[in-house]
Chains A and B, each alone.
Chain A
Amino acid sequence: MNTRSQVLLWGAQRASAMLLAVCVLVHLITIIYAVRHGLSAAEILGRTRGSVAWGLFYATFVAAVAVHAPIGVRNILAEIGWRGRGVDVLMFVLALTLAMWGLRAVWAVVS
């Protein structure tokens, strides 16, 4: 990977981190609010089903995490000696998998 791409990856991880900071904060508040009387499927889906706002929020959340996590994993792998094109391709696959699998979950609770 060329230096320019390495810099952009760093930038993408920081940008996604800024977005995630907002998402995680909202998520934590929602979690703490939701568990007050115990979790139930009816309550969760009652909140999310048909809601464009929650749908967009969780889709953004998933996209940001799909960018953020694989870059972090790539750094960890590089530091234990796994580097090169193979690892980069693997991280791209990881990003796509997280995104698809996450969006499936969003669809499941919103649709």
Chain B
Amino acid sequence: MKNDTRSRNHPAYWAFVVHRISGLALTLFLPLHFWALGNALHGEAKLETFLRWSDQPLVKCAEVGLVLLLAAHLTGGLRLLMLEFMDWRHVGDSHKTLLACAAGASAAIGLLFLLNLL
């Protein structure tokens, strides 16, 4: 028999879900990102054309999402490194506080990007 969501419903598991989805999404996005920057090989004008295309509201929304994913993967990843490499007595017993800090920091980074974008 397998577990259902009742057994998985706790903060650290949700952190895992966020880490996995963000990691996968960022990996899929990377080739696109590299392609966009690669436009500069054909001159500044080509890159400028792409950037002006990216001014559409929908693309800007996607950018906010991507920054949020990157920030979440960063802070969640730092949390994992701390849990794996630091003395458990210093980090493990307060792992939920650590998780809250990671979530807060990534939200703050996302918001900072959004505010600078507007």
Given A36-B116, A98-B30, A104-B34, does the pair A41, B45 have CB atoms closer than 8 Å? yes
Cα–Cα, bound, A30→B115 (Å): 15
List the 4 closest pairs (A to B, CB-CB), nearest first: A41-B48, A105-B37, A41-B47, A105-B34
Within 8 Å CB of B67, what residues of A? 28, 31
A109 contact from B27, B37, B116, Cβ within 8 A = B37
Given A28-B67, A32-B112, does the pair A108, B37 have CB atoms closer than 8 Å? yes
8 Å CB contacts to B: which residues of A1-42? 14, 17-18, 20-21, 24-25, 27-28, 31-33, 35-36, 38-42
Given A17-B81, A109-B40, does the pair A28, B23 have CB atoms closer than 8 Å? no
8 Å CB contacts to A: which residues of B45-95? 45, 47-48, 51, 54-55, 67, 70-71, 73-74, 77-78, 80-81, 84-85
Could you tell me the dominant secondary structure of chain B's interface residues? helix
Cα–Cα, bound, A18→B20 (Å): 17
Instruction: Count residues of B near A (Cβ-Cβ below 8 Å).
Output: 39
Which of B44, B45, B81 has the most C-beta atoms of chain A within 10 angstroms of its own C-beta? B44
Q: Is the CB of A101 within 8 A of B34?
A: yes
Which A residues form the contact surface with B (CB < 8 A)?
A: 14, 17-18, 20-21, 24-25, 27-28, 31-33, 35-36, 38-42, 44-45, 65, 69, 72-73, 76, 98, 101-102, 104-109
Which B residues form the contact surface with A (CB < 8 A)?
A: 20, 23-24, 26-27, 30-31, 33-41, 44-45, 47-48, 51, 54-55, 67, 70-71, 73-74, 77-78, 80-81, 84-85, 109, 112-113, 116-117
